[in-house]
Amino acid sequence: MAKINLILEVINKPWLLVSELKMIFVLPFAYVYLLLNRVGIKFPFKFYGLPRVQRHKGSQITIGQNFENRNWASANFISSHQRTVLATNSPVGKILIGNNVGISGSNIVSETEVTVGDSTI
């Protein structure tokens, strides 16, 4: 069903085709980048460009299912055209992002804990 919805969306909005194809290409790189930065993430997810991750040793960043992150100007219609930053500034810092969350062009910085609840845009 999701594939049919995506096809219909691209037919109705042809400019999305390039962003969707680039996103598919970037997904494996995004996953490896997050693993190397010890960010916990659950499948499925979408990344339109890579966020910047700055994780303090000992801190925690976790991302739930169905996360969508838009960093490219061509894929980001509702926010500023900058990369998302996820940063922890101390060993006890936590960034906890729930399920069904969309983030575009935001800076999330935690000294102790930041929680983004489920179904948040």
- Closest residue by Cα to residue 61 from 28, 37, 32, 27: 37
pLDDT at 78 (0 to 100)? 65
CA within 13 Å, CB half, 119: 0
In order along the chain (121 residues), what is the average pLDDT of each group of 10 residues? 75 80 94 97 95 97 97 72 92 98 94 98 88
pTM of this structure: 0.87
Q: Report d(CA 42, CA 62) in Å as an integer.
A: 9
- For 58, counting Cβ atoms within 10 Å of its Cβ (0-12 exposed, 13-18 middle, 19+ buried), the class is exposed
